[in-house]
Amino acid sequence: MNMHATTVVGIRRDGKVAMGADGQITLGNTIIKRTATKVRRIYDGKVLVGFAGGAADALALLERFEDKLRSTQGNLQRACIELAKDWRTDKILRRLEALLGIMDREKSYIISGQGDIIEPEDGIIALGSGGPYALAAAKMLLKYTDLSAREIVEESIKTAAQICVYTNTNIKIEEL
């Protein structure tokens, strides 16, 4: 069975950074959890990380990323590069199936197991099965409203939940 779970969205607006995710984890066609936490504050609360994919894989990568962040004294870009390099070349890590969305006050990155490090042009992070729907909603809300970063994250995930069966409205949001 394939594990599906997640809509993660990260927004930066007016000096604020917010990242949130729904709480649903699905195994096959069964919802196995509705209250998962898929967004974390790390590095003394200075960095937000959200994940999509296999939960155990994502948590293992999150732990490794936090180690990289410490070893680079908080250099977010360098830590992302180091993690992607390890993920791509290590025989065990290479099998992990997840995506990480990472944000601080200035930068946003998406890291994949294929060695991709993507810095979105508009700084919006959107991951998971509901990610494309949430991304579209976030782009329009940023362009046409004065909603805060937190409000845009919440509304974007609610929009995705109306379309994506793997997304629910049990939303948890972290802010910087």
Q: Which are the catalytic amino acids? A: 6
Residue identified by tokens 């936090």 is 66
Cα 160 to Cα 72, 145, 152: the distances in Å are 35, 18, 12
- What would the two tokens of residue 88 be? 């791509």
Cα separation of 139 and 95, whole Å? 33
| Residues β-bridged to residue 11 | 18
Cα separation of 169 and 157, whole Å? 7
Backbone angles phi, psi at 144, to 5 degrees: -115, 5
Nearest 5°: the CA angle 71, 74, 76 is 105
